[in-house]
Chain A
């Protein structure tokens, strides 16, 4: 996997290691996560059994605001948003509905939204409204990917993602928190990260 800075699978069985290297790269490639994940270390011990994946993610840019994908033209008492990229249109509309009420929002065509502003509202504030946080979706996608990579029977799991560091520990037996912490700290050390 060329796009990853660091990628290692550690396993007591050689064949298992080979197969899991293949599985992990297939999954990351299929789910388009190669550019998001920076480092990934997977440790599998089928004798325990336990599956540990630790790694870091690249910064995916900050919060998405309305000004990032729409031009705001302010006229008398109303603001017209002309949408450049439809990706965030639906979440934007629900946020605007919540804030100004459905009566104040018109959508004359696919790419324009008109907001009738209440008295005293600064029209420039609309530009700053936060519509989405890419990190949120990233966490979900990443955990989903690791769930696919992990062996099928490992239903008990602990997962974490914050500040660009993530871990995913799974087993078919119970997972006491202190064991998870020790294992994760040990593996994170290998890629030069501490929680």
Chain B
């Protein structure tokens, strides 16, 4: 079954029918927002049933939009998040990616500013490496990006998308070795992005990020995962009571090839490892349960089929 990421926006009234429908079709609700009278569902649904959801949702005032980034967790890295340089363009970047369905985390580097003095510490590097993709929101000068970027990317092995004020071609020229994606014309500015050309740049960023993630998905499809992350999320939500006691908007965050479970590693890791998915296959068989660098959360890295010889 091929899943497509969609966003359903509609009213609270009778939205449980849509939730039931998605679950009956075998889809997964990755995130659910209730904002006053509105409900926003980020979900993964079978490709053939998108029209059905749209038809059933229409009388309820529901709208179905294909959101390419649902089910991904993206790190937005800014060299600094200093108070006197607010508003930061990285805030707009993070917010825009969220509208496309991604779960974004902002990473403000401790010593990322400057040209010669920029660096990335081990904790930051490991945190970034827990994500599906990293967006570096860099500054206005070509020479600075050229000199500092090697320091900022050291040890990062997830796909990288770089943004900066120089044009896309200039970024492509100065960054060596090449990264997966480039978006030019977006550097530090001291106002919120609201002009049409700035919004067009943000749209270009979303396109670039989804292109890079699609490439990653194709790569993963060559050696499929032992279990789909969305399915694993459902298993954890059904069987681990503690995730419902957490106040985070996404207590279980879905990634392309993993999950972040926002409960303490020390107390819950053994329970999660022993959780049965189906026919005696446990979570520990198909995924590595690791301590996350983000607080004391749990990070699950789902193993590919070639490693486990199990497919559930």
A interface residues (Cβ-Cβ under 8 A, vs B): 13, 15-16, 19-20, 22-23, 26-27, 30, 44, 46-47, 49, 144, 147-148, 151-155, 172-173
* B window 111-165: CB within 8 A of A: 113-118, 139-144, 165
Instruction: Kindly provide the distance from the CB of A56 to the nearest chain B CB, expressed in whole angstroms.
Output: 23
- Is A27 a contact of B190 with CB atoms below 8 Å? yes
- Is B143 a contact of A47 with CB atoms below 8 Å? yes
- Is B141 a contact of A46 with CB atoms below 8 Å? yes
- Is B115 a contact of A172 with CB atoms below 8 Å? yes
A38 to B188, CA, bound (A): 25
User: Interface centre among B79, B84, B140, B142, by most A CB within 10 Å?
Assistant: B140
- Is B114 a contact of A23 with CB atoms below 8 Å? no
Partner of B140, one of A144, A151, A154: A151
A46 to B113, CA, bound (A): 13
- Is B140 a contact of A49 with CB atoms below 8 Å? no
A127 to B167, CA, bound (A): 61
- Is A23 a contact of B189 with CB atoms below 8 Å? yes
- Is A20 a contact of B140 with CB atoms below 8 Å? yes
**Residue numbers in B under 8 Å from A172 (CB-CB):** 114-117
**Chain A residue at minimal CB-CB distance from B146:** A46
- Is A151 a contact of B139 with CB atoms below 8 Å? yes
Given A13-B142, A13-B143, A153-B113 in contact, is the A26-B118 Cβ separation under 8 Å?
no
B interface residues (Cβ-Cβ under 8 A, vs A): 79-80, 82, 84-85, 113-118, 139-144, 165-167, 170, 187-191
A46 to B166, CA, bound (A): 13
**Residue numbers in B under 8 Å from A46 (CB-CB):** 115, 141-144
Instruction: Kindly provide the distance from the CB of A152 to the nearest chain B CB, expressed in whole angstroms.
Output: 4
- Is A152 a contact of B141 with CB atoms below 8 Å? no
A98 to B96, CA, bound (A): 55
Partner of A26, one of B144, B167, B189: B189
**Residue numbers in A under 8 Å from B85 (CB-CB):** 148, 152
**Residue numbers in B under 8 Å from A155 (CB-CB):** 113-114
Given A16-B140, A49-B115, A172-B116 in contact, is the A23-B166 Cβ separation under 8 Å?
no
Instruction: Sample 24 A-B pairs with CB under 8 A, ordered by A number.
Output: A13-B140, A13-B141, A13-B143, A15-B170, A16-B141, A16-B142, A16-B165, A19-B165, A20-B140, A23-B190, A30-B190, A46-B115, A46-B143, A46-B144, A49-B144, A147-B84, A151-B141, A151-B144, A152-B85, A152-B139, A153-B117, A155-B114, A172-B114, A173-B116
A100 to B170, CA, bound (A): 68
**Residue numbers in B under 8 Å from A173 (CB-CB):** 116
**Chain B residue at minimal CB-CB distance from A152:** B113
Instruction: Kindly provide the distance from the CB of A147 to the nearest chain B CB, expressed in whole angstroms.
Output: 6
**Chain A residue at minimal CB-CB distance from B148:** A153
- Is A19 a contact of B80 with CB atoms below 8 Å? no
**Residue numbers in B under 8 Å from A19 (CB-CB):** 140, 165, 187-189
A147 to B144, CA, bound (A): 19
Instruction: Kindly provide the distance from the CB of B286 to the nearest chain A CB, expressed in whole angstroms.
Output: 44
- Is B84 a contact of A148 with CB atoms below 8 Å? yes
**Residue numbers in A under 8 Å from B82 (CB-CB):** 152
Instruction: Kindly provide the distance from the CB of A48 to the nearest chain B CB, expressed in whole angstroms.
Output: 10
A44 to B188, CA, bound (A): 15
Given contacts A44-B141, A47-B143, A148-B85, 16 further A-B contacts (CB under 8 A): A13-B142, A19-B165, A19-B189, A22-B190, A23-B189, A26-B190, A46-B143, A49-B144, A151-B139, A151-B141, A152-B79, A152-B82, A152-B85, A172-B115, A172-B116, A172-B117
**Residue numbers in B under 8 Å from A27 (CB-CB):** 190
- Is B114 a contact of A153 with CB atoms below 8 Å? yes
- Is B84 a contact of A153 with CB atoms below 8 Å? no
Partner of A153, one of B115, B143, B191: B115
User: Interface centre among A13, A44, A148, A154, by most B CB within 10 Å?
Assistant: A13
**Residue numbers in B under 8 Å from A151 (CB-CB):** 139-141, 144, 188
**Chain B residue at minimal CB-CB distance from A18:** B165
**Residue numbers in B under 8 Å from A153 (CB-CB):** 79-80, 113-115, 117-118
A15 to B144, CA, bound (A): 13
**Residue numbers in B under 8 Å from A154 (CB-CB):** 114
**Residue numbers in B under 8 Å from A26 (CB-CB):** 189-191
**Residue numbers in B under 8 Å from A152 (CB-CB):** 79-80, 82, 85, 113-114, 139, 188
Given A46-B143, A46-B144, A47-B143 in contact, is the A23-B84 Cβ separation under 8 Å?
no
